[in-house]
Amino acid sequence: MCIENTLGGMTSNGSRSPFERLKEHYDHEELVCRECGFEDEDGTWDAEADGADIVYTHTCPRCGAEREHTLGLSDRETAQEHVQEYR
């Protein structure tokens, strides 16, 4: 059985994509704000994909500092053209 994951891909029931595992890492290991030192124990990172990049973001609830990790997946122009074709 396959299910749609949060990034729009398909995974087998019970398995996670490398991108989901990376988000899980950020959710557990990267929640201390570099600006004010606050540890956001209940916080999570958001993930958005546009076909060329996956951008993980987190905002500190205490000081509002934003952190971002961006992973490039492929040639941006080619990927964006592909995404436009299927909208």
pLDDT of 79 above 90: no
Determine the average pLDDT of the residues in 36-56. 92
Q: Flag whether 13 is in a domain.
A: no
Number of structural domains in the chain = 1
Q: Flag whether 8 is in a domain.
A: no
pLDDT of 76 above 90: no
Q: Flag whether 5 is in a domain.
A: no
pLDDT of residue 15: 82
- The domain in which residue 51 lies consists of 18-85
H/E element holding 80?
A: helix 76-85
pLDDT of residue 46: 96
Residue 12 or residue 33, greater confidence: 33
Q: Flag whether 9 is in a domain.
A: no
pLDDT of 64 above 60: yes
pLDDT of residue 75: 65
Residue 58's CB is within 10 A of a number of other CB atoms, namely 20
Pick the closest to residue 17 from 27, 30, 4, 28 (CA basis): 4
Q: Flag whether 12 is in a domain.
A: no
